[in-house]
Amino acid sequence: MNRYNAGVTILRMGLATVFLWFGFSQLFDGVNWISWVPEWAPAIMHLPPAMIVLFNGVFEVLGGTLLMSGLFVRFVAVLLSVHMAMLVLSIGITPIGVRDFGLTAASVALVFLVE
Amino acid sequence: MKKNIASHIVHGMIVIAIGSFVFWQNNSTTVPPDKNNVNFSTAAISKAVLPLPNYRSTKTFMQSQIAEHTLRSSCWSIINGNVYDLTGWIPQHPGGEQAILRLCGKDGSEQYNAQHGGARRPALILGGFKIGILSK
């Protein structure tokens, strides 16, 4: 494995770990996450915040699993990039928003790096 | 081929390990509610039960149906025209169990609005327990 492939693998698995962690957390401890659901989301999706959290958890676990396995990486990275960008816009310039901006940038980087 | 299968197995085990760790961590964290300092800390609400994905939040209920659920083991309440199953929230309410038990089987709008009216976080948490709306 050359340095480029090693770097991409580390980036991919690091991001996968993050999405898996937070995805499982939303599935097992959803009430904790309800307050993070943006106010526009229930109105647009016509779903209660609790269900949005559950669906988001499933999405992040699936995305994280595919990233971890190295399957459909570019496609998953695009979806997760868009997902994270929406979160950043919703959270704004806070410590968590800045951290999530870093995760967004890492996801976008993966889109460009994967062959 | 064998290397691919082996790597997928390893990746799958990592996914399961992360999920198991998160599950274990959430179930080993319990903080008793502090009755002198009412707040909605994340630790205090970590073990409340979420409604199942197949809940139909537009299902209608008669007031008489809500009145049948007055127990700690099954506590329903009407708040601002919506019906909530607060059973899972009773042990986790930061303000104590009695504040929720008082609402079981009845319209708790007045009490809820007096305590939390206009506050975003309690409203969002409450939304997670919605099971339907009151029939008019």
Residue of A nearest to B131 (CA): A48
Residues with pLDDT less than 50, chain B: 30-56
Query: What strands lie across the sheet with B130-134, from one edge to the other?
Result: B60-61, B130-134, B82-85, B74-79, B70-71
- Whether the complex's predicted ipTM surpasses the cut of 0.90: no
Express each pLDDT in A45-103 by its tens digit.
888 878 888 999 999 999 999 999 999 999 999 999 999 999 888 888 888 888 999 99
Of chain B residues 107-126, which have a CB less than 8 A from chain A? 120-121, 124-125
Handedness of CA B47, B49, B52, B53 (dihedral sign): negative
- Cβ contacts of A50 on chain B, cutoff 8 Å: 50-51, 127-130
pLDDT per position as a tens digit, B89-101:
887 787 888 889 9
pLDDT tens per residue, range B56-65: 467 889 999 9
Task: Select from B5, B18, B56 the residue whose CB has the most chain A CBs within 10 Å, as the one to mutate to test that interface.
Answer: B18
Task: Name the one residue in this structure whose structure tokens are 């994340």.
Answer: B42
Name the closest residue on chain B to residue A22, using Cα atoms: B22
A34:B124 CB<8 A? yes
- SS3 category, A42: helix
The model carries a pTM of: 0.60
Return d(Cα A108, Cα A57) in angstroms, integer. 21
| Contacts with B89 (C-beta within 8 Å, 6 or more apart), sequence order | B48, B49, B100, B125, B129
Nearest partner of B61 among B105, B17, B13, B101, judged by Cα: B105
Instruction: Provide the 10 A C-beta neighbour count for residue A63.
Output: 23
The distance of A72 to chain B (nearest Cα, Å) reads: 14
* Closest CA relative to residue A80, chosen from A50, A111, A55, A49: A111
**B59 Cβ contact partners less than 8 Å away, ≥ 6 residues apart:** B131, B132, B133
Q: Is B59 on the interface with A (CB under 8 A)?
A: no
